[in-house]
Each structure stands twice: as C-alpha cells, then as structure tokens.
Structure 1
Amino acid sequence: MKLALGPLQYYWPRVTTLEFYAAVADWPVDIVYLGETVCSRRHELRLPDWIEIADMLAQAGKTPVLSTQVLLESGNDLNTLRKITDNPDYAIEANDMGAVHRMRGRPFIAGPFLNVYSKPTLDVMAAQGATRWVLPLEMGRAGLAQLQQDRPTGLQTEVFAYGRMPLAFSARCFTARNRNFPKDNCQYVCMEYPDGLLLETKESEAFLTINGIQTQSALVHTLIHELDEARALGVDVLRLSPQSRHMDQVVAAFRAVLDGRESGADAHQRLLPLMPAGPCNGYWHGRPGLDMVLPGEIVVSKAPDARAPGVKARSAA
C-alpha cells in the first residue's frame, strides 16, 4: 500500500506552510495532495504557490495531486476550479460534482466528499474518468468490503487512515462567529487554531472541532491497528491528514507498520502523545465514530479528554 498526505485542512501562515512541505519532500510518503479545499478566503498561498510546491515535490519523487475546493460559493471560486481542472501537469482530486464534470472524462481522483456509497455511484465515477476513489469518512469496513467486490476494473481505493475527520461544510464560518465577526470580515481568526478549535458540550465533553466553515471530529481517527485488514481488503492508498506538530513522526509510524518493522499496537502507543486529541476509529467498525475499538474488540468510548495541551475548548450553546 502507498501512503498519501491529504490536503491541508487548516489555515497556517505562509512560511509555516512552505516549511512544512519542504520537509515533506524527505518523508516516506508517495502521494501529496495540495491546495485549499476549505475556504477561498484563506489566501496565504494562491494556486501558483501550490503549483510551485507540486513542482518541488515532483522533483523529490513524490506524486503531487491538486485538490479542488469542497464548497464553491462565488465566481472567483469557479475561476479557481477551472484553472485547477485545466492544469495539464498534475493529477486532480475532484471534491464536488462540478469538478467531476469539468474533468470531461479525463483521469481524476474521486474525493471523499462525493458520497460514493454504492456500486451504481462507483460505476458513474469510473465512467466519468475516476482512476481512484476515496472512501467516505462514515463508511466502515463492511461497506468497503462490498464495494471492493463490485468496483470497476482498474479503479484504485484510498482510505482516510489518520487525522481529525472532516464531517461537514457550511456557508457560515463558525470560527468567525465564535469571535462575533461576520464571515466577510472574519479577521482570518482560524489561523490562531492550527489544529482547529475544540467544541465542548455544557457537560465539558469533547463534541466537535470547528475549522472555519468546516466541522471536524473532536477526536483523531486512526487505523494504525487495521492496516493488515485494509491490505486484505485490497486498499491501495492510505491517507494521513496533516497536523501542526509531529506529522513526520506520524508518517514514520504508519510506514513502520506497513513495512512490518513495528506492530500496530506499539505504533499506536507511540502515536498517542503525538496526537492533538484522543484517538477514535468507531466508523471503521460500524460503531459510533467517537468509539475506539482496540484489538480483541475492546471498545473505549469517549476519550476522557480530547483537548490538546494548552488549547482552551469552547462550550456548545
């Protein structure tokens, strides 16, 4: 199986982002997804900057992929979509049906937000030119096993294997609203939360993470225990979602397990202090997403504290 680094979900300063991808060039990942998928107001890097990063990573032996925005809201968003899908040099990840239609039958990766839950939908994606599809976040191993039996010949499968799960997108910016700023004058406050802003219930239980217009899981989804099972199911690519700290060690842990140099249990213990929040993998096992199922079907529900050190959570209204 190959390792892929998913698109950056958060808003980081320009220098931080450039330094991050300069380091990625030396990491044991095969595929790197690039581009702004969450909010077009995030302007530290523009499309030409992402293409320069893609050029650098390609020279380092990686396979860059340009990802399209999930929720398009303006004419400028459409113009950016056109420029991305017209790029002849790199593969494209389509994250909405507009991007699929823009590809006009050319090869593309069907992103996790296209809601591919059935064989007819998978057939449509393949007929439109998809060469790889990404499992929706809420689909577990049982659904994957069925679709793997039904998938068209030559279509690869990618699974989100690490990171806070992107669950939903909205036209409203929740991070700006939290600070009583209107979306059109958001002050770019999401840059203050490099791994998102944790949302707690009034009972102080971790609930969700807000990241601009995106809603994420409070906990960190990890399939480090399930890599052998994913391989047996015919998964071709594992996606790891970037976090602001220790991402090089996260990548190294997954590579060590894939290469047989470390057990999933040992790697999991090594990952725990590196995560920005507690772990979960419930969706994979057909359970509530916040559950953590350990080998032997031991279920740990609701990690006692999903907060990263030094991060103050907000209470849900």
Structure 2
Amino acid sequence: MKLSLGPVLFYWSRAKLLAFYEAMAGQPLDVIYLGETVCAKRRALSLDDWLGLARELRAATGAELVLSGLALVEAASELSSLKRLCENGELLVEANDMGAVQMLAERRLPFVAGPALNLYNPYALQELTACGLQRWVPPVECAGRLLRDCLLQLDTLGIARPEVELFAYGHLPLAYSARCFTARAQNRPKDDCQLCCQAYADGLPMSSQEGEALFVLNGIQTMSGEACNLLSDYAGIVDSGVDILRLSPRSEGMQAVIAAYDAVRDGAAPPIATAGCNGYWHDRPGMLRIGEVLA
C-alpha cells in the first residue's frame, strides 16, 4: 500500500507552505500532490514556484510529484491558468474539473481523476480511461461496498483497473459553490474578500446548536466538521483493491498521522477505533464514527 499526501486545501502563507513541505520531505510518502484546488485568488505560490518545489521534493524524497488543478473554474483567467498547468511539461496532473480532463485528453496526456469528479461507475471510468485516466480518486462519499462493486464490474467488462487512491484522512471536501462562505462569515463580498480565509489554518469550524462539529468552511468549499480517519478500516480497504491512501494536510500533527499509517502498512495491527469520522466507508452517514457504525 502506498501513501500519498494530498494537496493543501487551506490557504497558508508562502512561508508556512514552504516550511510544511520541508518537514514533509523526510516523511515516508510515495506520492505528493502540489497546487491550489479551491480558489484562484490564493496565490502564495505561482505555478513556477510549485514546479520548483516539485523538483526539490522529487530530488529529496524520490516520491512521485503531481500537480492538482482547481475544482471549480469560473473565469477566463482561471481557464488560462488551468491550460498552463495542463501543459506544464514535467508533472502528471490531477484533474478536479472536466475542463481539465478535456484539455489533457486533447493533448493525449495521462492524468489522475481527482475526488471532485463525479465518477461512481465502471462506464464512466471506461470513458475517462479512453481519455487518459490512469489513477482514480473516488468521491469522498464513496462506500467500500460501492468501490468493490465498481472494480469487479470493470473486471467483468474486461476493462483494466486504474490505480485506485482513497481519501483516508482529513476534513472531507463535501461541496463547492460560486459563493465564498468564509468571506460571507466576515460580512465581506467575494470580490473584496481580503483573503480572510488565511486567518483559518484549518478552515472555519461550524457547530450545531448542541455544540457538535458540523462543517468546516474553507472559502468556496464546505468540508466535514470532523476529520475522516480510515486507519481502523485498513484490512477492509486492502481487500477492496485500493492501491494508495491519501492523507490530506492539516496545519499540525501530520508527521504523527503519516507515522501511524506507515506503521500499519508495514504490519502493525490497526487500531480498533480512531478519532474522526468514517461513516461513508461503511455506507452510512459520513459524520458517524466507527463506534456508532458498529453499534
């Protein structure tokens, strides 16, 4: 089982991003994703900066480096930036928007189908495989049962399975909107947001009236209130045909998260239960924890 580090979903300063990846260079990671997937206004690093960072990380770690694109393209300038990303000439691209899929297919370039693409069945995978898909990151709400069934149907249809990467840790990206919820929470218009999301290193938490974690607001992205953690489900994940586990960056404690997953893939017994939600994997409401699922 490989471990990947997903793209940073939150808006961090240039200094914080560079310090984070310097720390990650010493971690046992097989794949590292770089780039901005949420908001085009977040320009702490340019495309050239990301490419330079990728070269440094590849030399230091030997890991595969991948560039991730936006999940919601709204303006001509964003489309132009997406084109530059797809034509970077060095790195595999994670497509999170069908516009990126079209650009990459036209250029006959292989790509990763990110979790923001709605790919749930073997026929959709067959279509995109013909376009160049080589790795599939299922949507975060995809249950283990659905994943297994989809891969078995691919076998029945005689379609080669793509590499499968599962979102295993981190706040789950649930929805995207043209409206910026973080700016709205600060009573600011989206066009004059003053990049207020940079004040929330792990997003802006929202709780229910009972004080339970409900959602995390991250610009135009709505995320799960609790971080997903599928480490206790490791055995079932392996049996499902997953090749890579994606760990989504948070501002603190990522070394410990990576170490825990690395130990289990090296043979340590997975924990009986973990903090965090895992309901989607069990075909239940995503906010549930394993104790509730098994109850």
- Same topology, TM > 0.5: yes
In structure 2, what is the equivalent of residue 36 of structure 1? 36
Whether the 8 Å CA contact 1:57–1:63 is kept in 2: the answer is no
- Aligned letter for 1:2? K
Q: 1:288 aligns with which of 285, 289, 292?
A: 285
CA distance in structure 2 between the partners assigned to 1:199 and 1:294 by the alignment: 23
Displacement of 1:176 after TM fit? Answer: 0.7
Q: 2:174 aligns with which of 140, 161, 167?
A: 167
> The residue matched to 1:112 in structure 2 has which SS?
coil
In 2, the alpha carbon distance for the partners of 1:194 and 1:147 equals 36
Instruction: Look up the match of 1:54.
Output: 54
- 1:97 matched to 2:98? The reply is yes
**Structure 1 outlier segments of 4+, above 3 Å:** none
Q: Give me the whole-angstrom Cα distance separating, in 2, the residues matched to 1:227 and 1:298.
A: 16
Instruction: Name the residue aligned to 2:202.
Output: 195
Identical-residue share of aligned pairs (%): 44
Distance in 2 separating the partners of 1:294 and 1:234: 24
Q: SS where residue 232 of structure 2 aligns?
A: coil
For residues 40 and 75 of structure 2, what CA distance do their matches in structure 1 show?
9
Deviations 1:87-125 (A, max 9, x none): 121111011111001012321111111111111101111
Give the C-alpha shift of residue 154 in structure 1. Answer: 4.8
**For 1:157-184, what per-residue CA distance to the aligned partner results, in whole angstroms no more than 9, with x for missing partners?**
1100000000111111111110111111
Whether the 8 Å CA contact 2:4–2:32 is kept in 1: the answer is: yes
Gaps of 5+ in 1: 273-278, 300-317
Output the CA distance in 1 between the equivalents of 2:71 and 2:271. 34
Please show how residues 57-96 of structure 1 align to structure 2 within 5 Å: 57-60=57-60, 61-96=62-97
CA distance in 1, matches of 2:243, 2:214: 32
User: How far is the alpha carbon of 1:131 from its aligned partner?
Assistant: 0.5
1:104-155: CA deviation from partner (whole Å, max 9, x where unpaired): 2321111111111111101111111101101111110110011111333151
The alpha-carbon deviation at position 234 of structure 1 amounts to 1.3
Aligned residue identity for 2:269: S
Kept in 2, the 8 Å contact 1:164–1:217? The answer is yes
CA distance in 1, matches of 2:234, 2:208: 33
Q: Secondary structure at the match of 2:50?
A: helix
Q: CA deviation at 1:298?
A: 2.7
CA contact (8 A) 2:33 2:67 kept: yes
Matched residue of 2:116: which SS?
Answer: helix
Once the two structures are superposed, residues 254-277 of structure 1 have per-residue CA deviations (whole angstroms, 9 ceiling, x without a partner) of 0001101x32217x65xx4xxxxx
State the TM-score, normalizing by the size of structure 2: 0.94
State how 1:241-260 maps to structure 2 within 5 Å.
241-260=248-267
* Secondary structure at 1:64 match in 2: strand
Return the alpha-carbon distance in structure 2 between the equivalents of residues 84 and 12 of structure 1: 20
Q: Is 1:263 paired with 2:269?
A: yes
| Residues 137-216 of structure 1: pairs in structure 2 closer than 5 A | 137-151=140-154, 152-216=159-223
Opposite residue 127 of structure 1, the aligned amino acid is: A
Q: Secondary structure at the match of 1:65?
A: strand
TM-superposed deviation, 1:201 = 2.5
The count of aligned residue pairs is 288
Answer yes or no: is the 8 Å Cα contact 2:122–2:151 preserved in 1: no
Output the amino acid matched with 1:109.
V
Task: Quote the residue 2:109 is aligned against.
Answer: 106
Distance 2:161 2:141 in 1: 24
Which residue number in structure 2 is paired with residue 236 of structure 1? 243
8 Å CA contact retained: 2:32, 2:63: yes
Are the counterparts in 2 of residues 2 and 236 from structure 1 also a CA contact under 8 Å? yes
* Residues 151, 161 of structure 2: 8 Å contact kept: no
Aligned-partner residue type, residue 213 of structure 2: A
Counterparts of 1:201 and 1:291 in 2: how far apart (Å)?
A: 15
